[in-house]
């Protein structure tokens, strides 16, 4: 289902908007599902198109959607922060001078990063995924890095480099330190 035309995407967007409106008085969760699917197709979140089989007010044209690489980067960044949150306390005990985790999102002043920030919001606010990472970022407006994205670029690069190592989940203290201190 990843390969649909802009016209098909528009039809699905409208379909889920209509279904959402028709479900407004139902108490079966269908309105929330239709709202989520509307957002997926309206914003062109291709990584989530397959959600159709499992469960703002204008159409965003293909040239304005976040590409798959950008979506993958956002998912990787959130997964990195989840890993760091899960193992930071232990790493801090092992490395007393370990700096705190710095939660840095994307820069709204850059159009491409703004799309990444929108997708991050979709993951946190619509899908309700990674609630502890969402909480660590704070209010949605705090996800805007204001040009500070470089702060997570080296961390993400290190995370991607080491996440498939055989001992990644055994030597968590070491990897948390390496990721946080990546330069």
pLDDT tens-digit readout, 60-70: 556 778 999 99
Indicate the pTM of the whole model: 0.74
Q: What is the pLDDT of residue 79?
A: 97
pLDDT tens-digit readout, 88-126: 999 999 999 999 998 888 988 888 998 999 999 999 998
Q: Which helix (H) or strand (E) holds 92?
A: helix 68-94
Q: Work out the mean pLDDT of the chain and round it to a whole number.
A: 87
Q: Can you give the residue ranges of every domain in the chain?
A: 6-64, 68-180
- CA distance linking residue 125 with residue 65, whole number of Å: 18
Q: What is the pLDDT of residue 130?
A: 97
Cα 49 to the chain's mean position, in Å? 15
Task: Identify the weakest region by mean pLDDT among 42-46, 47-51, 71-75.
Answer: 47-51
């Amino acid at each position: 289902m990843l390969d649909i035309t802009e016209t098909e995407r528009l039809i699905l967007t409208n379909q889920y908007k209509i279904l959402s409106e028709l479900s407004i008085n139902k108490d079966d969760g269908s309105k929330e599902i239709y709202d989520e699917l509307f957002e997926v197709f309206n914003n062109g979140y291709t990584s989530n198109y397959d959600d159709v089989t499992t469960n703002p007010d204008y159409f965003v044209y293909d040239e304005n959607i976040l590409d798959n690489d950008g979506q993958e980067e956002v998912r990787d960044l959130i997964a990195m922060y989840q890993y760091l949150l899960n193992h930071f306390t232990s790493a801090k005990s092992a490395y007393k001078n370990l700096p705190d985790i710095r939660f840095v999102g994307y820069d709204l002043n850059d159009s491409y990063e703004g799309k990444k920030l929108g997708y991050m919001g979709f993951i946190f606010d619509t899908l309700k995924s990674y609630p502890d990472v969402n909480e660590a970022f704070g209010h949605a407006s705090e996800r805007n890095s204001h040009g500070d994205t470089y702060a997570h670029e080296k961390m993400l690069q290190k995370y991607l480099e080491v996440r498939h190592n055989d001992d990644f989940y055994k030597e968590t203290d070491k990897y948390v330190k390496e990721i946080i201190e990546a330069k």
